[in-house]
């Protein structure tokens, strides 16, 4: 029997080990959800005479190996395959989705607030958004691996927000695809996101998170083939952000809309309100049967757009009236779109910010 010695890496690293005279050992180290197993041996055969000195030397070497493995970049594949798989649902044949919490990013939810998913073709897999932490990215990777061993060829980022791309580093080796404006957005804001979310999520959860920019960009439209399965990628004008990209799985008519579509979670404006309302009109023409919104439940298409359109239209109408009436930006922050308050979650957290963003946009009309 091979003895197993567990090494629990808390903060700081806490190591347990025992002497053994068996031929082989497995050292297991856990760091968060990731697990590393190091096979060492053959070390001591039953009949070997091993001096106390060499046992100590071996122990030191084994620990050093483990520490180097832990402290360096944990290989994504190894860390991910032993992470707890995200509980994904197959929403259409070969289309898997994890529905994020309707919440802001916290250490408790590990940043897992956006919907993320993957699509499996006959030869490859595409991941759509990687989650709000490296840990979530690794759990998504584990969810893929629980379904298929096919290579993950693409990671598609629907836009630059941290809850959608902080997990990118889990997918080493994949082609990262984004809107043509995504590299610029990440260059401008990436470091800010890393600093700001270190304060929100804490050092441990931020470990290993990297801003991984796209290696393939979409100017207007592009198609990628996962093997008997085409995905249509569309880059939109400024709406939720200035780098929104949607993904249509043509096989099942499933649309991954990113944050161009919010349900239950109040829409958050970080691009252009006028643009977003115009894009909503264009989105209705996408021949989808269902939508995976950036936040909120899977829904029928295009009915899923209605709540969002109502809120954004009201926001535009109120803010425009305030700007025309010569009201200050402070006046704008109260009572705008108030009738929508009870129809959404996270209204309090986002409505004032939306009104302020809309005010800045309409001020220059
Ligand atoms: Zn977003």
Please tell me the distance between residue 260's alpha carbon and the centre of ligand 1 in angstroms: 8
Please tell me the distance between residue 50's alpha carbon and the centre of ligand 1 in angstroms: 60
- Residue 128 buriedness (CB in 10 A; 0-12 / 13-18 / 19+): buried
Three-state secondary structure call for residue 276:
helix
CB neighbours (10 Å) of residue 331?
Answer: 14
Query: What is the C-alpha separation between 97 and 141, in angstroms, rounded?
Result: 12
Say if CB 125 and CB 148 are below 8 A apart: yes
Please tell me the distance between residue 156's alpha carbon and the centre of ligand 1 in angstroms: 14
Please tell me the distance between residue 158's alpha carbon and the centre of ligand 1 in angstroms: 8
Pull the structure tokens for residue 158. 């629907």
- Domains in the chain: ranges and CATH: 4-72 (no CATH), 83-307 (3.60.15.10), 314-362 (no CATH)
CB neighbours (10 Å) of residue 329?
Answer: 14
Tell the residue number behind the tokens 């909503």, with chain if given: 280
pLDDT by residue for the chain (365 residues), tens only, comes to 333 333 333 232 223 233 333 444 444 444 444 444 444 444 444 344 444 445 554 564 554 454 444 444 344 444 444 799 999 999 999 999 999 999 999 999 999 999 999 999 999 999 999 999 999 999 999 999 999 999 999 999 999 999 999 999 999 999 999 999 999 999 999 999 999 999 999 999 999 999 999 999 999 999 999 999 999 999 999 999 999 999 999 999 999 999 999 999 999 999 999 999 999 999 999 999 999 999 999 999 999 999 999 999 999 999 999 998 888 877 766 788 989 999 999 998 999 999 999 999 998 88
Query: What is the C-alpha separation between 346 and 264, in angstroms, rounded?
Result: 9
- Residue 27 buriedness (CB in 10 A; 0-12 / 13-18 / 19+): buried
Say if CB 324 and CB 363 are below 8 A apart: no
Please tell me the distance between residue 161's alpha carbon and the centre of ligand 1 in angstroms: 5
């Amino acid at each position: 029997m091979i003895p197993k010695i567990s090494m629990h890496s808390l903060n700081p690293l806490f190591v347990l080990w025992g002497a053994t005279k068996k031929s082989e050992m497995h050292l297991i180290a856990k760091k968060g959800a990731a697990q590393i197993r190091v096979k060492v041996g053959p070390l001591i055969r039953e009949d070997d005479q091993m001096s106390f000195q060499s046992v100590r030397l071996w122990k030191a070497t084994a620990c050093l190996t483990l520490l180097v493995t832990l402290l360096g970049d944990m290989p994504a594949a190894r860390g991910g395959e032993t992470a707890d798989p995200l509980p994904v649902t197959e929403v259409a044949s070969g289309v898997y989705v994890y529905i994020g919490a309707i919440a802001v990013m916290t250490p408790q939810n590990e940043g897992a607030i956006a919907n993320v998913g993957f699509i499996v073709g006959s030869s490859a897999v595409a991941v759509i958004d990687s989650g709000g932490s490296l840990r979530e990215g690794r759990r998504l990777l584990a969810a893929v691996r629980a379904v298929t061993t096919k290579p993950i060829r693409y990671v598609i980022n629907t836009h630059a927000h941290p809850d959608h791309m902080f997990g990118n580093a889990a997918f080493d080796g994949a082609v990262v695809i984004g809107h043509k404006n995504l590299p610029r957005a990440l260059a401008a804001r990436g470091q800010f996101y890393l600093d700001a979310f270190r304060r929100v999520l804490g050092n441990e959860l931020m470990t290993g998170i990297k801003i991984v920019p796209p290696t393939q960009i979409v100017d207007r439209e592009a198609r990628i083939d996962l093997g008997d399965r085409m995905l249509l990628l569309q880059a939109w004008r400024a709406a939720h952000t200035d780098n929104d990209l949607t993904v249509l799985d043509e096989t099942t008519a499933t649309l991954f809309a990113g944050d161009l579509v919010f349900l239950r979670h109040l829409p958050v404006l970080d691009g252009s309100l006028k643009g977003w309302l115009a894009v909503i009109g264009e989105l209705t023409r996408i021949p989808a049967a269902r939508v995976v919104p950036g936040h909120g439940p899977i829904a029928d298409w295009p009915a899923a757009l209605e709540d969002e359109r109502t809120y954004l239209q009201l926001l535009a109408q109120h803010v425009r009236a305030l700007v025309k009436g010569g009201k200050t930006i402070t006046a704008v922050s109260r009572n705008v779109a108030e009738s929508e308050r009870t129809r959404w979650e996270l209204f309090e957290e986002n409505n004032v910010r939306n009104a302020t963003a809309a005010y800045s946009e309409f001020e220059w009309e």
